Amino acid sequence: MNRKPIIAVIGDGSLQKNSEKEIFAEQLGTALVTAGYRIICGGLGGVMEAAGRGAHASPVYSDGDVIGVLPGCTPDAANPYIDIPIATGLDHARNFIVANSDAVIAVGGGSGTLSELSYAWIMRRLILAYRVPHPAGSPEIFADWSAIVADKKLDDKDRCPQIEGDRVYGVDTAEDAVNILAEKLPLYISRPACAGKR
């Protein structure tokens, strides 16, 4: 690849201050930029903002490393760490764009994050998921989807037959994430020009 790879960071749109997820997302943002990646996200709060803040804290951060793909028509909705707001006007359909980046890393997340995980799986993207140490949820309420899907396959179609052990790769630390990206990203390069059957 002749350009910086673009890694999507997805997850909860709001977070408790200093929660495990916020700390992880911020460390992840720093680690990704330090390792030479750009970050793409939905441009709003929570995990998206924490990752952006972390990105700006990297010693090698440069302006343009953080992209926000917004649901509305105005770039003003972007969090303050978004260097490049893309105001799509497509509402949640913009999740398809976020998910179709070079790789996707999920941190907790509700149904919006789940739509992005689903799309990343369809698009045969490399997916990492934070094994949230103390996930929310209960037998009747799904929550923290990154913890639920970590180390699993999102469906039983053989989406990448040539990649042994293909799955959502669970991670515990930002360092883990960067290591797995380095090892696995070259395997997940190919993408179809059109994904849906036509």
Query: Alpha-carbon distance 169 to 165, whole Å?
Result: 9
43-72: contacts with a second copy (CB under 8 A): 44, 62-65, 67, 69-72
The answer to the question of residue 163 lying near a second copy (CB under 8 A) is: no
Query: Alpha-carbon distance 114 to 181, whole Å?
Result: 21
Distance, C-alpha 170 to centroid of its chain: 13
Comparison of 175 and 188: residue with beta carbon closer to a second copy: 188
The answer to the question of residue 162 lying near a second copy (CB under 8 A) is: no
Is the backbone of residue 152 left (phi > 0), alpha (psi -120 to 50) or beta? beta
The answer to the question of residue 170 lying near a second copy (CB under 8 A) is: no
Size of the site for a second copy (CB under 8 A): 76
Comparison of 24 and 119: residue with beta carbon closer to a second copy: 119
Q: Binding a second copy by CB under 8 A: which of 47, 50, 112, 126? A: 112
Phi, psi of 71, rounded to the nearest 5 degrees: -75, -30
The answer to the question of residue 90 lying near a second copy (CB under 8 A) is: yes
What DSSP string describes 159-186? Answer: S-TTSTT-S-EEESSHHHHHHHHHHHGG
Choose one: 20-28, 82-90, 170-178, 180-188; the region binding a second copy (CB under 8 A). 82-90
Structure tokens at 117: 């995980």
Q: Binding a second copy by CB under 8 A: which of 56, 131, 167, 184? A: 167
Phi, psi of 141, rounded to the nearest 5 degrees: -130, 115
Structure tokens at 62: 């440069």
Comparison of 155 and 172: residue with beta carbon closer to a second copy: 155
23-42: contacts with a second copy (CB under 8 A): 38, 40
Taking a C-beta distance cutoff of 8 angstroms, is the pair 9, 25 a contact? Answer: yes
130-159: contacts with a second copy (CB under 8 A): 136-137, 140-143, 145, 149, 151-157
Query: Alpha-carbon distance 148 to 129, whole Å?
Result: 9
Q: How far is the CB of 126 from a second copy (least distance, A)?
A: 14
Q: How far is the CB of 162 from a second copy (least distance, A)?
A: 17
Query: Alpha-carbon distance 20 to 196, whole Å?
Result: 37
Comparison of 114 and 128: residue with beta carbon closer to a second copy: 114
Compute how many other C-beta atoms are within 10 angstroms of the C-beta atom of residue 60: 10
Q: How far is the CB of 17 from a second copy (least distance, A)?
A: 18
